Amino acid sequence: MDASEGERLSTEQYAALAQFRFQLRRFLAFSEAAAARAGLPPQQHQALLTLAGHVGRIPATVGLLAEQLLIAPHSAAELVARMVDAGLLTKTRAAEDRRRSELALTPRAEALLRTLTAAHLEELRGLAPALAEALESATR
């Protein structure tokens, strides 16, 4: 039975979920501020992370970004166009399927992402105990 069917939820369960969401918001606020200081909108930062983490698999495409960023394909295409214009991505036609475009980070994007990722990992190290405790409490 789930809560919608009459299960009573405790104050502790609400508090645990609230604390977990608070810790997530803290990290997201840090992330958005760090990206802004680097001159990147948060969505572009997430796109760079997605592409950097995708290296070595099938080529990265607009469709991959749409899927991973939870946005519509046309929105992903617009995002890619802005990032190409900003000198963050290259977009080339796939050799085996000329209808597909393959995406890659530019050296500028790689340098930005390296700096941002180092800062994010440091922030996560600091938040890890609180995040872990909040997650554990919320899932008991």
**The domain that contains 25 carries what CATH number?**
1.10.10.10
The domain containing residue 16 runs over which residues?
11-139
Q: What is the mean pLDDT of residues 81-86?
A: 98
What would the pLDDT profile of 11-27 be if each residue is shown by its tens digit?
999 999 999 999 999 99
Tell whether 1 is covered by a domain: no
* Local confidence band at 99 (pLDDT 50, 70, 90 cut-offs): confident
Rounded to 5 degrees, what are φ and ψ at 70? Answer: 60, 45
Q: Is residue 90 part of a domain?
A: yes
Beta strand 89-93 pairing with 101-105? antiparallel
Q: What mean pLDDT is predicted for residues 72-86? A: 98
pLDDT-based confidence at residue 3 (cuts at 50, 70, 90): low
Residue 54 lies in a domain: yes
Q: 94 Cβ partners below 8 Å, 6+ apart? A: 59, 100, 101, 102
Structure tokens at 47: 């796109």
Q: Does 1 have pLDDT greater than 50?
A: no
Rounded CA-CA distance 17/21 in Å is 6
Please check whether residue 86 lies inside any domain of the structure: yes
Rounded CA separation 95/114 (Å): 29
Taking only the tens place, the pLDDT of each residue in 35-46 is: 999 999 999 999
Has residue 125 been placed in a domain?
Answer: yes
Averaged pLDDT of the chain: 92
How much is the pLDDT for 4? 60
